[in-house]
Homo-oligomer: A and B are copies of this chain.
Amino acid sequence: MQQQDGLLSRLRRGHEQLVLDLLRQHGPLSRGELGARCGLSRTTLYDIVGALLANGAIVASAPEAAQRRRGRPVERLALNPGAGHAIGIDFARRAVHVAAVNVAHEVVGSASEPHGPDLGWEQRIELAQHLVGTLAGDSLGLGALSAIGVGVVGPVGRQGDGPGGDSRWEALPPLLRERFGVPVLVDNNTRLAALAEATWGAAAGGGDVLYLRLSHGVGGGLVVGGALHRGAYGLSGEFGHISVEPGGAPCECGGTGCLETVASVGAVLGAFRAAGGRADDVPSLAAAARAGDSAALGVLDEVGTRVGTVLAAVSNAIGPGVIVLGGELATVGEALTGAVQRALTARLLPASRTRVDLRAAALGEVGAALGGIALVLRESPLLSHYPVPPGLEEPGEDSP
């Protein structure tokens, strides 16, 4: 029966989503208007509407005299603006980023704050709570339908998968639930950035997206059919640990010659300095490249070729429509991305060459926080995982 329960719960969630989508698109509607638009049977529609009223996702407006027909008030249903917000928090290595949307999926705002590398969870959560408070002041109430999507560094498996190579984040959800009092979903922050780029960013509306982030670490994420792909054990998107140099430099993952050992910020700056260049950070390297410095151009060409080769291999395997390049190094510009594009073109299947589109990430440092929101909205704990508030278990279907 477990499979059937799963199917029933998916069907019910789909019904709820349909009703909410209609109210989001059309504004307030009567039950009759909803019925005509959603195609659900009267029984099913009234059941769904009753549940949404009960958990506070929608509200029934006071009937206006003009709307009365045959003496009976025509009640209109609308999204509940006070129902709460979906909040995304990215606990990056040295910063906290937050973003929030309201129940109508409108972005309320975003904010970031850097911190030292050794800050504890309690302090980072406090920082996040402060930032959330700055977004919209008192108007940002955490209502009964709020939820938080959280990005963390390192692999995140499903509950019960056991340690995924890094279980440091597992203390986080209970702490957040205690502080914010709402449900918490967690995923790897680079994967969340991928989901955000596929939802609101460079690949908005793209069903199949490959996102590669070139930063202090190298990682990424896959969006398949519009949803985040996690893999069997929560270990997908580990592009940084694809081997590109047999017998190459040791990687912190325990392997050797991983892409991360040649294409991280540290590795690229190191290669530039080894070639006689002088740069302590990515903007200096980018400036050298723009000035035509041959060492900078040589290093970036070599790195871009490595990156493009890995992207071509993964693309031939999974066939994405869009490849998004993010992270600090992606801001260097043509010297790097030109080489990536050339290696891609040379190694992609001919039938894919003119189709797979390479784009720069659009959402910047709050990408993963926005991805936390996208995760919450996709998985809809807002709507389906909530207990019905006490006293509202049996709402009268047509009561005013």
> 10 other contacts beyond A208-B231, A233-B321, with CB at 8 A cut-off?
A4-B21, A4-B22, A7-B18, A163-B351, A233-B355, A236-B319, A238-B349, A241-B349, A243-B347, A255-B349
Q: Is there contact, CB below 8 Å, between A314 and B312?
A: no
CB within 8 A of A351: which of B7, B165, B229? B165
A residues 20-40 touching B (CB-CB < 8 Å)? 21-22, 37-40
- The verdict on A10 contacting B14 (CB below 8 Å), with A313-B242, A313-B313 known, is yes
- The verdict on A15 contacting B4 (CB below 8 Å), with A208-B231, A319-B233 known, is no
CA distance A15 to B316 in the complex (A): 36
Q: Is there contact, CB below 8 Å, between B319 and A235?
A: yes
A80 within 8 A of B: no
- The verdict on A309 contacting B243 (CB below 8 Å), with A233-B355, A235-B351, A350-B253 known, is yes
Q: Which residue of B lies closest to A240 (CB)?
A: B316
Q: Which residue of B lies closest to A234 (CB)?
A: B319
A97 within 8 A of B: no
CB within 8 A of A317: which of B230, B233, B238? B238
Q: Is there contact, CB below 8 Å, between B7 and A17?
A: yes
What residues on B are CB-neighbors of A238 within 8 Å? 316-317, 319, 349
Contact with B along A153-175 (1 / 0, CB 8 A): 00100000001111000000000
A224 within 8 A of B: yes
A182 to chain B, nearest CB (A): 27
Indicate the member of A40, A238, A346 with the most B CB atoms within 10 Å.
Answer: A238
